[in-house]
Amino acid sequence: MKEGALIRLEHGSGGALSRDLVESVIHPFFRSAAYPELTDASPVETGSDFLMTTDGYVVDPPFFPGGNIGALSVWGTCNDLAVCGAKPICISLALVLEEGFAVADLRKVLESAASAAREADTRIVTGDTKVVPRGKGGGIFITTAGIGRRMCSAPLSPSRIQEGDSVIISAPIGAHGLTVLAARESLPVADALRSDMAFLYPPVSLLFPLAESLRFLRDATRGGVAAVLNEAVHGAAWGIRMEESEIPVSDEVRTVADLLGLNPLEVANEGVFVAVVGARSEAAALRALQAHPLGRSARCVGHVTAGNAGTVLMTTKIGGTRRVDFPRGLLLPRIC
Amino acid sequence: MSGERDLASALVAEIEKTAAGIGRPVRIMEVCGTHTVELRRQGIHSLLPRGIALVSGPGCPVCVTPAGYVDNALTLAESGHAIIASFGDMLKVPGATGRTLSSLSAAGRARLVYSPTELIGMARAAGAPVVFLAVGFETTIPTIMSALLEAEKQEIRNLYLYTAFKTVPAALRFLLANPEHGIDGFLLPGHVSVVIGADAYEFLEGPGGRPGVITGFEALDMLLGILLVLRQIGRGTHRVENAYPRAVRPGGNSLARQMIETMLEPTDETWRGLGVIPGAALGLRPARADRDAAKVFSLPAAADAEAPGCICARVVAGMATPPQCPLFGARCTPDDPVGPCMVSSEGTCAAYFRYGDGT
């Protein structure tokens, strides 16, 4: 990053600039031989089966169709553990409240968090509360940490992806980001959209029996599926080729995204994950996912290919080819 | 296979047949920035036979606005005499010194608007002079002029326009008069044509003209537009065809045209990369001189200048493609752009960078 650089909103969008900030500014301070990769969750010590994760939530507005910041913060943290192959055990919850935030709203958020934790069979075991002056916060911010136990025998990592592997998207994309945007901007489309916010350990764990054939999992939050796929092949000797017509998108999301000039592949999800599996396990993976309500629309959207190292290419609906890049610029700030 | 893909395959087969009949390389210019983006987003380049080059034209309004315009806006914002309001892309275009208006947004001196309708509330709340960077072609102009009319109706006196409006027919005339561009035909912009109408391109049918096809923005629209241009090239005709009749009428939108004609007049201004094209810009008529930021704040004429190494000027003129630029993808990316063609969401460089070249 350049001398005199300032943090921009784009640094939080989950796209290319977010990656650059983490790689060039943050990670160098904490990188170690024991923890060389940037992952959503890591073992609490080398070789441990207990994994730890943390996440911050600044979604604006905190209440949106389909949920609120309370359940979002609990499930988001549980999902980070799930895609690293771990079952959530317990989480912490720290509140940063802005002077003037309604206690009744706080109760609603906490009720939603408690109920989400029950559904995820996990507990909120510790927490913290801070208050900042009016105008210095966003109403309510939540930071969580989570601990989980490894349940997946295979190490899940982009480095295990091989040429020929199948790329699966678990559910229709784009609903969460567009819902929050529509709620924030009071767009008259809000009725048609609901956040896809969900606890993903149950469908994710259905893939664990694939063992070594399960290469890589990632929930497609900020930056959407486009960011996850580009991360997966970043710096690799292979790339991904996908079919636009196979991407699961609801008519509502497609229409609203078109109107706003947004690409659903770049929009944040809270109930969608990407799985890369060995080609021979593709059918088994789809069968397992489609048997679960959160994976009913799961699709294989493409494969890992040679000849386009480090890039994601897409066959468009008319049969043309184009690149799917890391999301760039100001996408949708404060979406989670 | 979807019905759309079948239709696309059939159109591509016709395009291949027609191109083979022409038997020489062909250059077709898509004049409009939205076409530039959509052609690449749909992967249409990858479907065309070798020998058909799609050349991006000067139809990205941000891209053809000279750096001196940004510098004038920066000077005005920093003087404290006015708050600058603008659509997003313009805030990110570097001026001649490399600085951008977005660097002033934290201090509230440069503000983003999504729609000109926001200007009314912004001017009322600000109290201080608000200068809107009125950049755009015929599609954008009527909405901006509507906002100005509304400001007049509500007697909001502190809203000014710094106009850099451009007109598409004038740019086409300029390209025709400079045949070294080697353009064999034009995909004419669908949205601009909704306003100005198909009849506005009649000059393309005169001596020295080229085939022009008014084209929509769906994948099949664009393939059809390309096919119709090629058929004309094959026949040796140069007529204006309307392949977007579901939106474009011969006379355009009379209300919008009338608004443009009564409030604005042709002026001579600099286009980035093309220089001064006589009568190809639109400025406020003298009756509205009190709304004209260039006059009220005595702004100098906007000089054309390029950052070292940047070839945006040649890209907007259809004389170079982005990969020919030494800065492309290295020093110049959408996250840290050097030239306007990488800044604008409609810019040719941004479209190449995001969607690749179809291989």
Tell me the DSSP string of B242-268: ES-TTT--TT--HHHHHHHHHHEEEEE
Phi, psi angles (nearest 5°) of residue B186: -125, 135
pLDDT at res. A159: 94
Dmax (CA) of chain A: 57
pLDDT tens-digit map of A258-272: 888 789 999 999 999
Judged against a pLDDT cut of 70, whether residue B358 lies above it is answered with no
Strands (E), A133-258: 140-150, 166-169, 214-219, 239-243
| CA distances for B22 relative to B51, B214, B232, B237, angstroms | 10, 21, 10, 13
Confidence grade of residue B63 (pLDDT, cut at 50, 70, 90): very high
Kindly give the interhelix angle for B33-41 and B348-355, rounded to the nearest 10 degrees.
10
Give the residue from A216, A241, A214 showing the smallest Cα distance to A231: A216
Judge: B4–A318 Cβ closer than 8 Å, yes or no. yes
Interface test with B, best of A259, A316, A324 (most B CBs within 10 A): A316
Domain with CATH 3.40.50.11750 in chain B: 1-306
Reduced to 3 states, what is the DSSP secondary structure of residue B52?
A: strand
Nearest-angstrom CA–CA distance, B229 and B243: 10
Q: Which of A185, A247, A318 to mutate to test the interface with B (most CBs of B within 10 A)?
A: A318
pLDDT attached to residue B271: 92
Chain A residues near residue B40 by CB distance under 8 angstroms? 322
Query: What integer pLDDT is reported at residue A8 of this predicted model?
Result: 82
Domain A40-150 CATH (choose: 3.40.640.10, 3.30.1330.10, 3.40.50.720, 3.30.1050.10): 3.30.1330.10
Mean pLDDT of chain A: 94
Q: What is the pLDDT of residue A332?
A: 60
Write down the pLDDT at residue A190.
59
End-to-end CA, chain B: 22
B137-147 mean pLDDT: 95
Return all residues near B312 (Cβ < 8 A) that are at least 6 apart: B63, B272, B273, B306, B339, B340, B341, B342, B349
Tally of CB atoms within 10 A around B24: 8
Do A201 and A72 contact (CB within 8 A), yes or no?
A: no
Q: What is the DSSP string of A281-322?
A: GHHHHHHHHHTSGGGTT-EEEEEEESSSTT-EEEE-TTS-EE
pTM for the whole thing? 0.87
Residues from chain B that touch A325, judged by Cβ atoms under 8 A, are 353-355
Mean pLDDT in residue range B175-179: 86
Region A128-132 average pLDDT: 97
Which tokens is B212 given? 């022009």
Q: Is A181 helix (H, G, I), strand (E, B) or coil?
A: helix
DSSP string spanning B13-46? HHHHHHHHHH-S-EEEEEEEHHHHHHHHHTT-GG
What residue spans define the domains of chain A?
Answer: 1-31, 40-150, 158-324
Please state, in angstroms and rounded to a whole number, the distance separating the CA atoms of residues B66 and B60: 12
Shortest CA gap B23–chain A (Å): 24
Residue A233 has pLDDT above 70, yes or no: yes
pLDDT above 60 (res A287): yes
**Which of B2, B40, B88 lies closest to A322 in CB terms?**
B40
Chain A contact present for B219, CB below 8 A: yes
How many Cβ contacts (< 8 angstroms) between chains A and B?
A: 72
pLDDT digits 0-9 by tens, A189-205: 757 899 999 999 999 99
- What is the arithmetic mean of pLDDT over A96-107? 98
Tens of pLDDT along B238-277?
A: 999 999 999 999 999 999 999 999 999 999 999 988 889 9
User: What are the chain A neighbours of B46 within 8 Å (beta carbons)?
Assistant: 320-322
Task: State whether residue B298 sits within 8 Å of chain A by CB.
Answer: no
CB neighbour list of residue A228: distance below 8 Å, 6 or more residues apart: A218, A220, A274
Compute the C-alpha angle A110/A118/A46, nearest 5°: 100
Q: Does B261 touch chain A (CB under 8 A)?
A: no
Residue A333 has pLDDT above 80, yes or no: no
pLDDT tens for A154-201 read 999 999 999 999 999 999 999 999 999 888 877 777 578 999 999 999
Paired tokens of A5: 């650089």
Tell me the H-state helices in A54-151: 69-82, 103-119
The confidence score (pLDDT) of residue B115 equals 87
Q: Give domain A158-324's CATH superfamily.
A: PurM-like C-terminal domain (3.90.650.10)
* In contact, A243 and A303? CB cutoff 8 Å: no
User: Does B49 contact A at CB distance below 8 Å?
Assistant: no
Chain A nearest-CA residue for B42: A316
pLDDT of residue A313: 97
- pLDDT of residue B45 exceeding 90: yes
Segment B305-314 mean pLDDT: 87
Query: Is it true that domain B1-306 has CATH number 1.10.3470.10?
Result: no
pLDDT at A331 over 60: no
Res B40 pLDDT > 70: yes
pLDDT confidence of residue A35:
87
Helices and strands in chain B, H and E counts: 15, 11
At residue B98 the predicted structure's pLDDT band, cuts being 50, 70 and 90, is: confident
**Are A319 and B356 inside 8 Å of each other by CB?**
no
Residues B150-171 as b/e (b if ≥16 CB within 10 A, e otherwise) read ebeeeebebbbbbbbbbbbbbb
Q: So what's the pLDDT on residue B97?
A: 84
Average pLDDT, chain B: 93
pLDDT at position A14 is 80
Local structure of A79: helix, strand or coil: helix
**pLDDT tens sequence across B149-168:** 999 999 999 999 999 999 99
